[in-house]
Amino acid sequence: MSPQSQSRFPRLHQPEQPPSLPAWMLDPPPARRTAGDRIATALLALPGATALRRRWQVWQARRRLYQRFPNTMKVVGFVVSFAVTLALVMAVYVLLPKLS
Residue at 87 is within a domain: yes
Residue 7: the pLDDT is 60
Domain, as residue range, for 57: 35-65
Number of domains, the chain: 2
pLDDT at residue 69 tops 90: yes
Residue 26: the pLDDT is 86
pTM above 0.85, yes or no: no
79/60 same-domain check: no
54/74 same-domain check: no
100/81 same-domain check: yes
Q: Which residue has the higher pLDDT, 99 or 25?
A: 25
Please report the DSSP string for 18-77 in residue order: PP-S-HHHHSPPPPPPPHHHHHHHHHHTSTTHHHHHHHHHHHHTSPPHHHHSHHHHHHHH
Cβ-in-10-Å burial (0-12, 13-18, 19+) of 73 comes to middle
Residue at 22 is within a domain: no
Q: Report the distance separating Cα 86 and Cα 92, nearest Å.
A: 10
pLDDT at residue 92 tops 60: yes
76/100 same-domain check: yes
Contact partners, residue 66, CB within 8 Å, separation at least 6: 73
